[in-house]
Amino acid sequence: MITKSPTERTPATTAQVALSGVHKRFGELEVLKGIDIEVGAGEVVVLIGASGSGKSTLLRIMCDLERADRGEVWVNGVPLHDRKRAPEIFGHVGMVFQQFNLFPHHTALGNVTLALRKVRKTGRKEADERGREALARVGLAEKAAAYPAQLSGGQQQRVAIARALAMDPAIMFFDEPTSALDPELVGEVTGVMRSLADEGMTMVVVTHEMRFARDTADRVVFMDGGVVLEQGTPERVFGSPTEARTQQFLQRVLDT
Amino acid sequence: MDWSVMWSNRDLYGAGLWATVELSVAAIATCTLLGLVIAAIRTSRIPVLAQLARCYLEVFRGTPLLVQMLFIYFGAVYLNIGNITVFGAALLALTLFQGAYVAEIFRAGIEAVPHGQWEASRVLGLTRAQTFRSVILPQTRSIVLPRWSASTSRSSRTPRSPSSSATPNCSARARPSWTGWDTPARRTWRSPSCTSSSVPRCRSSSGGWRERP
Ligand SMILES: Nc1ncnc2c1ncn2[C@@H]1O[C@H](COP(=O)(O)OP(=O)(O)O)[C@@H](O)[C@H]1O
Ligand SMILES: [Mg+2]
């Protein structure tokens, strides 16, 4: 699929994330039909769109859990469309999943320090220190010894965020981080995400929390049927959407 | 029956029992190791190796242990490969046979771990091998250990199957003790010999393996 030698080239922009002409299909189903997107350093981009519109697939391509069929994907200076160089991205971006995906057989601190110790080869003492700092950033310093099963959903998701933060990631990706949570636990997770945004973290967030998008996003991207239909500041997209599909979608999610 | 016959031959029984224990312990260790390696390969997506592991499983799960033992022993003798001992042939056969079952147990455990665990580890920068060892394998314990001990003790019933006159072969030193014995006494001894049952069965009934989380 890649015609010109990708290793020879550098991204056209200084953006942290730059996708151009990204296509992806699963069998017969064409999920992404030519996506162009850029995310600058420190920018917070929120992806919205109906279920099945390709948001998760796009996010997974950005952290190399899926590979694009066509197009270029630059993330943190790594060309993910180059099979050989793509693995360089691992350990340098953070991913937060809807289902947390914590390691159930490790304590909160164990979860947060595992990659430091195995990937970065950090000594136990230093890893524990950095792990505790990461847990403190998500307000869970006192839960270091707890196992995931002993924590609430909101706390588990915050541990998952701390686990990603401990690796000092250049970019954080979130795929519906609050969708598996009881409504009363959503606030503690979006609160942590907001403080990350305030600290200048580059973030790409898929969420149905429109309040979070309105308050925190620098840019809202509306996806529909595998393409970016509309994007702009939250005020612009929520206040005066130009596309009929966007209006319909917003009406649906804001009503419920 | 006449128990004094057994008592007067206690040395032979002792030797036979000891060979059985040795064989059991050795076979449990080797089949577990083999099973783990095969399961790791089988669940990997390494093209040719994964297929080979699959073939191994099909062959060794599809034929009876006794057939495999005889095949390996007489095959080795016939082809004059090394000078295989009866013990060696029995250990090899038990390992290959039981290894196939243990591999399937490990595979079931590995596949029961949600895929998200692999993905989270991958984004964090862990290699597949690191993920397997530090994340996946520890989570297979609750599934693998009960089945593992059940499987190693189940193997005791396999070689006992119909009129296995060759069963005594499994323990070379015990062989003399079978000649000229009446049937009940043979039955008594046939079951623990030639198996890898004794050790895990003791452990599982004491609960030592099952209660680990
Ligand atoms: N691994 C996969 N195999 C087959 N189809 C998939 C796979 N992942 C996603 N899809 C399909 O792709 C479409 C888009 O999925 P997704 O990116 O998860 O959308 P969203 O996150 O916006 O709901 C859906 O129809 C989904 O069923
Ligand atoms: Mg999704």
pLDDT in tens, A149-163: 999 999 999 999 999
pLDDT in tens, B70-110: 777 777 777 777 677 778 878 888 888 888 889 999 999 99
Give the pLDDT score at A215.
94
Give the pLDDT score at A89.
95
Task: Enter the tokens of residue A177.
Answer: 């981080």
Give the pLDDT score at B82.
67
Query: What ligand is nearest to the CA atom of residue A25?
Result: 1
ipTM of the predicted structure? 0.92
Cβ atoms of A87 and A165 closer than 8 Å: no
Give the CA diameter of chain B: 70
- Counting ligand 1 atoms within 8 A of each CB, the residue from A26, A33, A229 with the most, and so the one to mutate, is A26
Check pLDDT > 80 for residue B126. Answer: yes
Give the pLDDT score at A5.
47
- Please indicate whether residue A220 or residue B142 has the higher confidence score (pLDDT): A220
Angle between helices A153-165 and A183-198 (to 10 degrees): 20
Q: What CA–CA distance (Å, rounded) separates B22 from A15?
A: 65
Check pLDDT > 80 for residue B6. Answer: no
Give the pLDDT score at B47.
84
3-state secondary structure A105-147: CCCHHHHHHHHHHHCCCCCHHHHHHHHHHHHHHCCCHHHCCCC
Residue A164 phi, psi (nearest 5): -70, -40
Are B116 and A97 within 8 A, CB to CB? yes
Give the pLDDT score at B177.
34
For residues A61-73, average pLDDT: 96
Give the pLDDT score at B207.
32
Nearest Cα to B12, choosing from B186, B174, B166?
Answer: B174
Give the CA diameter of chain A: 56
* Residue written as token pair 């455990």: B109
A40-255 is a CATH 3.40.50.300 domain: yes
Average per-residue pLDDT for chain A:
94
A125 touches chain B (CB under 8 A): no
Confidence of residue B37 (pLDDT cuts 50, 70, 90): very high
Chain B, nearest residue to A172 by Cα:
B123
- How many interface pairs between A and B have CB atoms less than 8 angstroms apart? 56
Check pLDDT > 60 for residue A124. Answer: yes
Check pLDDT > 60 for residue B202. Answer: no
Domain residue spans of chain B: 3-174
Chain A, nearest residue to B120 by Cα:
A101
For residues A170-179, average pLDDT: 97
Q: What CA–CA distance (Å, rounded) separates A232 from B76?
A: 76
For residues A139-144, average pLDDT: 97
Confidence of residue A51 (pLDDT cuts 50, 70, 90): very high
> What does B19-57 look like in DSSP terms, one character per residue?
HHHHHHHHHHHHHHHHHHHHHHHHHS--HHHHHHHHHHH
Give the pLDDT score at B194.
35
Confidence of residue B13 (pLDDT cuts 50, 70, 90): confident
A104 DSSP assignment: T
Q: Collapsing DSSP states into helix, strand and coil, what is residue B212? A: coil
The radius of gyration of chain B's CA atoms, rounded to the nearest angstrom, is: 20
Q: What CA–CA distance (Å, rounded) separates B204 from B150?
A: 8
- Ligand 1 within 6 A of CB of A113: no
Are B120 and A95 within 8 A, CB to CB? yes
Average per-residue pLDDT for chain B:
72
- Which chain B positions have a beta carbon within 8 Å of A99's beta carbon? 114, 116
Confidence of residue B196 (pLDDT cuts 50, 70, 90): very low
- Ligand 1 within 6 A of CB of A5: no
Give the pLDDT score at B44.
85
A179 touches chain B (CB under 8 A): no
Nearest Cα to B209, choosing from B161, B135, B142?
Answer: B142
Q: Are strands A70-75 and A93-96 parallel, antiparallel or unpaired?
A: unpaired
Are B124 and A91 within 8 A, CB to CB? yes
- Please indicate whether residue B156 or residue B15 has the higher confidence score (pLDDT): B15
For residues A58-76, average pLDDT: 96
Give the pLDDT score at B169.
35
Give the pLDDT score at B116.
97
Q: Collapsing DSSP states into helix, strand and coil, what is residue A14? A: coil
- Ligand 1 within 6 A of CB of A56: yes
> What does A207-219 look like in DSSP terms, one character per residue?
-S-HHHHHHH-SE
- Ligand 1 within 6 A of CB of A26: yes
Distance of CA A214 to the CA centre of its chain: 17
Task: Enter the tokens of residue A202.
Answer: 């580059």
Give the pLDDT score at A7.
45
- Counting ligand 1 atoms within 8 A of each CB, the residue from A30, A31, A97, A223 with the most, and so the one to mutate, is A31
Of the partner residues A90, A99, A118, the one whose CB lies closest to the CB of residue B116: A99
Cβ atoms of A80 and A61 closer than 8 Å: yes
The percent of chain A in helix, strand and coil, each rounded to the nearest 5, is 40, 25, 40
* Residue written as token pair 């799960």: B61
Q: What CA–CA distance (Å, rounded) separates B42 from B49?
A: 8
Confidence of residue B19 (pLDDT cuts 50, 70, 90): confident
* Residue written as token pair 């593992």: B148
> Can you name the CATH fold of B3-174?
MetI-like fold (1.10.3720)
pTM listed for this prediction = 0.80
Check pLDDT > 70 for residue B173. Answer: no
Cβ atoms of A188 and A132 closer than 8 Å: no
